[in-house]
Amino acid sequence: MIRYTAALGKLDFKWSVLLAIVGLDLVWMLADGWRFQAGSLVGPAILVTAASAPLLIKRYRQDELIFSLCESVIFSMLLAWSAAIFSYLGVSANFPLVDQSLAEADKFFAFSWADYYHWSIAHDTFQRVLVEAYGTLAKQSWLVVVYLCLTRRKARVREFLELTVVLFAISILLSISIPAAGAPKFYASAVHADVSGWSHFELLRAGSLKLIDLNAMQGLVSMPSVHTVMAILLCWAVRRTPLAYVVIPLNIVVLLSTPVVGGHYIVDVLAGAVLTVGAIAVRRRWYSQTLMSENFTVAKVRFFS
């Protein structure tokens, strides 16, 4: 009973963080005159309703596997949308850009973004592989969540979702105070990269875009790199499973693609990596201490019973 209660507490934790993000999104949008694109919420509403439908049937709701799968899918969808909205609101805060500082930090690590970009596009096969790998992250996330649920790795999927929601929140909060337009725009005089994927950035900072279209959101968080965060988390989530033989090599390529395809400085990638490894270490230490405390409580109850 004690372990079951503890499990519910951990489940509540990830939902509490998600609800805090959703609440902040709604308050910010209402206070600052934001609105949703007409029809933008229809698709998400249909998806959430479809994922929730099995839980309306008692037999399925009480099935551990079906409940875990439905809950994890619903949580992942809501997290993706609420985090995207939060990132847009954060960009609109219009803090001073730090691109110059990030470029100088790259030099400290002897990394030339422009040189790496030129080398990459000069090797067509390499560039195509990077582009394809970079675009797999969302699909990988769904694959990992479904795989962990279907293989009944409840602790693993809980850990993955908890770390994901916390790191999304931290990454976006950090990016609000240290925003960057991105390496392709900063080095525009030296390279001619396609920056259409970040076209909303300047509009948001100028206050001329206050419309949320969930069907056309752009990834605008530069520092730290969220792609790096997710690449490492996905590898950690599938450790010592058959899926690791696919996910880990693929995400090594994702990390290589992040500066070129994602437009990140190398320090964005390093910051994302340090943040993620640190969060994993803290979470595991906290979980170990909690488990030790639970075991001690159980032993004490048995001793006095």
Question: In this structure, are residues 130 and 260 in contact, taking their beta carbons and an 8 Å threshold?
Answer: yes
Q: For residues 159-194, b (16+ Cβ closer than 10 Å) or e, as one string?
A: bbbbbbbbbbbbbbebbbebbbbbbbbbbeeebebe
At 10, the pLDDT band (50, 70, 90 cuts) reads very low
Tokens of 76: 């992942």
Tokens of 123: 């090797």
Write down the mean pLDDT value for the chain: 90
| Gyration radius (Cα) of the chain, Å | 21
Tokens of 149: 């649920």
Give the other-Cβ count within 10 Å of 199's Cβ. 11
pLDDT at 264 over 50: yes
pLDDT at 1 over 90: no
Render pLDDT for 46-55 as a digit per residue (tens, 0 to 9).
999 999 999 9
Specify the pairing of strand 35-36 against strand 211-212: parallel
- Given this model, what pLDDT does residue 290 score? 62
Element (H, E) at 35: strand 35-36
Question: In this structure, are residues 180 and 31 in contact, taking their beta carbons and an 8 Å threshold?
Answer: no
- Given this model, what pLDDT does residue 5 score? 40
User: 41-50 long-range CB contacts below 8 Å, 24 or more apart?
Assistant: 41/214, 43/214, 43/215, 44/77, 44/81, 44/214, 47/77, 48/74, 48/77, 48/78
Mean pLDDT value across residues 249-261: 96
Q: Report the alpha-carbon angle 169-180-32, nearest 5.
A: 60
Render pLDDT for 184-219 as a digit per residue (tens, 0 to 9).
999 998 888 888 889 999 999 999 999 999 999 999
CB within 8 A of 114, min separation 6: which ones? Answer: 187, 190, 191
Q: Which amino acid is at 89?
A: L
Render pLDDT for 79-109 as a digit per residue (tens, 0 to 9).
999 999 999 999 999 999 999 999 999 999 9
- Given this model, what pLDDT does residue 285 score? 86
CB within 8 A of 207, min separation 6: which ones? Answer: 92, 94
- Given this model, what pLDDT does residue 210 score? 95
At 148, the pLDDT band (50, 70, 90 cuts) reads very high
Q: What is the DSSP string of 275-299?
A: HHHHHHHHHHHHHHHHHHHHHHHHH
In whole angstroms, what is the distance from residue 99 CA to residue 24 CA? 27
Q: HSE on the CB side for 51, CA within 13 Å?
A: 18
**Which residue in 60, 228, 67 sits closest to 149, CA to CA?**
67
Mean pLDDT value across residues 219-239: 96
- Given this model, what pLDDT does residue 192 score? 86
pLDDT at 115 over 70: yes
In whole angstroms, what is the distance from residue 69 CA to residue 65 CA? 6
